[in-house]
Structure 1
Amino acid sequence: MKRYYLPAAISALLLAFWFSPDAQEIAAGVAIFLFGMLMLEDGFKLFGGGTLERVLQRATASTPRAIAFGIASTTLLQSSSLVSIVTISFLSAGLISLIGGVGIIFGANIGTTTGAWLVAGLGLKVNIAAYAMPMIAVSVILVFQKSKPLRGLGYALAGLGFLFLGIHYMKEGFDAFKDQIDLTRFALSGLLGLVVYTLIGTAATVVMQSSHATMVLILTALAAGQISYENALALAIGANIGTTITAVIGALGANFQGRRLALAHLVFNMVTAIVALLFIAPLREAVDWISALAGIAPADFALKLAVFHTIFNLLGVGLMLPFLTRLISFLETRIPEPQPDISRPRYLNEAVDEFPQTLELALRKEVAHLYDNAAELILHGLNLHRDQVFAARDVAALVRQSRRPLDLDLNEGYENRVKTLYSGIVEFSARAGNKQVSPDIAERIYVLRDVASNIVQAVKSIKHLRKNILRYTVRPQGATTRLYDELRTEIARIAIEIRKLGLADPEDRSALWLDQERARIEEDARSTARRVDALIRKGDLTPAAATSFMNDSAYAYGAMRDLIKAARGLYIERDSALAEVERLLSLDEEELKEAMTGAAPQAPARSDAGTP
């Protein structure tokens, strides 16, 4: 069916153009209007620099604030679709609550009414094409500038210009069209007219993916006398239903939270439409009364339609707000949270791809998810229970008591719980690299990808250790067991400190411990060879066991280094004032190089160091 959709649509347009040349002007007006909306959205993404995303995070602290944000952002952008997609993106990334997202959708529906007022109050009464041309001309100069804000401003200015130009051509097209064909012949009154024209309005919005464009089309046709006022009301109701398709499409690539929000959007608009249809007569009377108070002429049906559009959207919000808690419960019951699969990416989905802020934050959460999986595998690979390690007061004593081998297939755990997540992170990072993101965000994305690589390498080092951990620590074997227990203790202690770092508030996290730990690791690694030599001379360690331990200690210290690097990239915010102070106080590269010189054993060459 889908493969016939595009040819059928083009054929219908060409037939309409042949039947009436004036239809070309109307179709061109719609196309220019939609193109203007796209340019306005693209301009905001460049010019905003993540402003919408940052404000969105703060705007959902309460339902009134979320509604106010939905109204303001939709009024500013003239696109409830963009606001819906941004909200789904943030909700899918776990950055805002479901109730906050629903509040924004409520506000966006109110905000979308400002477009009708703009067209009815200005676009149909002023020659806005005269303003459109200068705006487009100036925008061309701006879009070729190197500065991203200037280019964003240029796109936004061009978008507004094309919006105005599209309105002008639609108006002119309907004015010319009425001389050839009187569409009012197809007007339908009563219940049948309400149902038919509501469905037409829904279909038109689904096709154009914009209720704004549908409302402009309705208003210009109404102003030209091509549709009746009663049918225009039904078309406006249908446009509100059809606009939910954008949220539904945006939720297809989202997680369960994004799908819940799309369902909330659908429920809200459907309930609002049903109420408006059932109470169409009282609503018309209310429109006439308010219009008379506002000084709107009885025959100015375009402005009266804008009044109606505003009233029934406000009515919908007023009806749904008292039932907001029940709506959330219904959404959570209807679309339950799936059982978490720790082997699959939890935060990376197509819904978070559209906006820079969600790209970075979703990736950071996914890397933390990878670390949680890896930390459990690393500790279990050392025959240590993760929960016991994190609850222990004396880690060394716990290690000495942990002699029972854990039932663990480390290779299978690596494939299912680490490699699959790492592959998803690499793919997502590459996808993010193709987006138009600022250099600082792109850099942080690549840093997070490197963090994931460090985590993977740490797990692979433990895989190499696992065989001799089982060989020398399950049954006490003197000095050899003590040496391996010391390695297990050091890795467990680092895992504990990294966990504390992750649980701490971002402003309280310190990089000083990481630098001190790096120096300590290098000092321990350098002294290992001397200790092993002394044990061999005393006869406490056989040459065979010493060789195994030297190789394994290189893997262990490699895992420690990788974990420290991962913790730094994942948890330390380098752009904070505290981080800058810590940078000045921490060890510099020369000091670290000095600490790393000497007889520190190096990890054997990893044959699989490229891809996991």
Structure 2
Amino acid sequence: MQGVFDYWEFLAGIGLFLWGMSQVEQGLKGLAGNSFKNLLHRYTDRAWKGILVGTLVTAILQSSSLVTLMVLAFLGGGMIHLKNALGVVLGANMGTTFTAWIVATFGFKISVADFAFPFLAIGVLTYLFTNSRPFLKNAGIFLLGFGLLFLGLDFMKVSIDTYAAAVDLSTFDEHGRWWFLVLGILITAMIQSSSALIVIVLSAINAGLIGSDHALAMIIGANIGTTFTLILGAAGGTADKKRLALANFSFNFIAGILCFFWIDALILLSIQVFHLTDPLMELVALNSLINGLMILGFYPFLSPLERWLKGRFRSDVPKGRSRFVKNISVELPSVALMALEKEMDGVLEDTLKLVWKIVHKHKGPKKEASVWRKITYQSKDLLLDYQQLKNLEEELFAFALRLQAENLSPEEANRLSDLSQTLRLLVVGAKEFKDIVHNLKEMEDATEPFVAEVLADLQQQVKDFLTVFEEYQALHESDAATLVTVEEKLKASYSETMHALYSQLRTKKTDVPVSTLANVLQQVFSGLGLIWKGIGSLRKELPAKMDL
């Protein structure tokens, strides 16, 4: 019946529109997901770059939630500073306005259903018959989503047009702008999509159901309401997630309320300065203007805001020995792998420090201690350092297991295997040194000069190899030739040192058992070899098996 609102058609339109957006997002992720992640990672070293990249990526993906998830992963992984992450969030808010421009430009100027059908047909057929070709399959998902998006728009537009043709529009003037502002907040918070509400508002204003001022009030409400997606996701989350959610809400709430009181001035500006007479174009332009003003207003204060936010939610900082992975989710495997790789750099640094302390700075028991105490001696400080390294290993291994359960690409699975092997090699290498602490102390307390000479020579060799390890790790590029060369030097040094030991024992005296000296040499070079293999695995250039 004329004038009866067909709410089923309207709700079907919203559902198709939201489903279409999710399919577009999924298709784009499959087509170029890693490219977008690389873009966010590489070009967010400045806040202004973060704004530009956040705008661009969100405009293409049409999902500020996905962009925010990426930013959270980079932030938690220590790959981006909080200030620059705030810039990306500001840009993401601007990027979400791109949908409104497309809809306002094409959605009400042509037959939307006819426009959607070719995309639906090609998308469905491509998706169904190209399972063996991921690129074409993702392209099909994208086209299908694009068609569903516009088909949903047509359903909403038709249902609202039919209703507006017979309803008394003057009844809407009785409601104040505050009512429309709150309505925009509530609807957006429920459907979790500001883009969908903006399309609803555009359909309503196209049908003459509401005026520009009420429509703009709802758009402002939508910008505030969309922040609840991140707020809900931050509940019970890490400190970084809560900080970003608070900042996002503050950006949109403060800018939205200020602009709400200047609605008349903004509409006048669009007419007199920008000469916009089409109410649809006027609305989307004002939406972009509000987000632009938000960026200009907050950009100068990002540094003090960053300092203030870092003081908030400190009790929600995750516990654990890890530096990065404790702050991120495994939902984005490629980013999680980058964080795990950074953790390996830290594990390597801790391992090299522990080896240095064991070989050069160990402190033994007092001279009056019993013989048994001297034989079984283990430094408490060194044991604590090693236990902390073991605890970190356990935490990283648990993270790797969770990551392994995700849908990894073959390249990601291989890289995870390399990093897991790096972790095992470094910790086992550290254990080789931990197990000879009491032997090193026995050599240090020996009275025969020959034992002191062996210890001094061994300490110098360890120092030289650790220097090589650190210098190689500092390089930006992998060098397989260097890996092989150092491996050969390790083998040669072990052979030469053992040969020299047995040769000099014919003429030298020692008050430390020969088996102890040989064991120390064997474990030192075995530990160095394991650590070097770990570096090779970290660099994706694993040396051949080293047998000492």
- 1:376-455 correspondence runs (5 A): 376-384=353-361, 408-415=380-387, 417-455=388-426
Q: Which moved more, 1:95-104 or 1:362-371?
A: 95-104
Give how far 1:453 is off: 1.0
Give how far 1:188 is off: 4.9
Is it true that 1:275 corresponds to 2:252 in the alignment? no
Secondary structure of 1:435's counterpart equals coil
Give how far 1:536 is off: 4.8
Question: For the Cα contact (< 8 Å) 1:113–1:309, is it kept in 2?
Answer: yes
Question: For the Cα contact (< 8 Å) 1:81–1:243, is it kept in 2?
Answer: no
Give how far 1:182 is off: 7.4
CA distance 1:345–1:250, shift in 2 (3 Å): farther
Q: Which of 428, 433, 439 does residue 457 from structure 1 map onto? A: 428
Secondary structure of 1:50's counterpart equals helix
Give how far 1:244 is off: 2.0
CA distance 1:149–1:436, shift in 2 (3 Å): farther
Paired residue type of 2:78: G
- 1:480-519 correspondence runs (5 A): 480-504=451-475, 506-507=476-477, 510-519=479-488
Question: For the Cα contact (< 8 Å) 2:40–2:54, is it kept in 1?
Answer: no
Question: For the Cα contact (< 8 Å) 1:253–1:349, is it kept in 2?
Answer: no
Question: For the Cα contact (< 8 Å) 2:50–2:88, is it kept in 1?
Answer: yes
Give how far 1:210 is off: 1.9
Question: For the Cα contact (< 8 Å) 1:254–1:350, is it kept in 2?
Answer: no
Q: Which residue of 1 aligns with 2:367?
A: none
TM-score normalised by the chain length of structure 1: 0.77
- The Cα offsets for residues 90-115 of structure 1, whole Å up to 9 and x where unpaired, read as 22222233333233222222222222
Give how far 1:489 is off: 3.4
**How far apart are the structure 1 equivalents of 2:266 and 2:343?**
49
Secondary structure of 1:540's counterpart equals coil
- 1:454-603 correspondence runs (5 A): 454-504=425-475, 506-507=476-477, 510-527=479-496, 530-538=499-507, 540-541=509-510, 545-570=513-538, 572=539, 600=548
Question: For the Cα contact (< 8 Å) 1:276–1:312, is it kept in 2?
Answer: yes
Give how far 1:532 is off: 4.6
CA distance 1:421–1:32, shift in 2 (3 Å): farther
Aligned length: 530
Q: Which residue of 2 aligns with 1:294?
A: 276
Secondary structure of 2:436's counterpart equals helix
CA distance 1:413–1:142, shift in 2 (3 Å): farther
Question: For the Cα contact (< 8 Å) 1:39–1:158, is it kept in 2?
Answer: yes
Is it true that 1:313 corresponds to 2:295 in the alignment? no
Give how far 1:294 is off: 3.3
Q: Which of 144, 151, 159 does residue 158 from structure 1 map onto? A: 144
Secondary structure of 1:440's counterpart equals helix
**How far apart are the structure 2 equivalents of 1:488 and 1:428?**
36
Question: For the Cα contact (< 8 Å) 2:6–2:159, is it kept in 1?
Answer: yes
Question: For the Cα contact (< 8 Å) 2:90–2:295, is it kept in 1?
Answer: yes
Give how far 1:539 is off: 6.1
Give how far 1:84 is off: 2.4
- Any unmatched runs of 5+ in structure 2? 363-376
Q: Which moved more, 1:358-367 or 1:122-131?
A: 122-131
Q: Which residue of 2 aligns with 1:323?
A: 301
Give how far 1:336 is off: 6.9
- Any unmatched runs of 5+ in structure 1? 1-19, 386-404, 575-582, 601-612
Paired residue type of 1:353: V
- The Cα offsets for residues 322-377 of structure 1, whole Å up to 9 and x where unpaired, read as 43444334334546799998x61111146453435422321111111222222222
Q: Which moved more, 1:176-185 or 1:451-460?
A: 176-185
Question: For the Cα contact (< 8 Å) 1:214–1:239, is it kept in 2?
Answer: yes
Question: For the Cα contact (< 8 Å) 1:50–1:356, is it kept in 2?
Answer: no
Computed over aligned residues only, the root mean square deviation of the Cα atoms, in angstroms, reads: 3.4
Percent identity between matched residues is 28
Q: Which of 24, 31, 34 does residue 40 from structure 1 map onto? A: 24
Question: For the Cα contact (< 8 Å) 2:271–2:277, is it kept in 1?
Answer: no
CA distance 1:339–1:72, shift in 2 (3 Å): closer
**How far apart are the structure 2 equivalents of 1:492 and 1:84?**
45
Question: For the Cα contact (< 8 Å) 1:29–1:165, is it kept in 2?
Answer: yes
Q: Which residue of 1 aligns with 2:365?
A: none
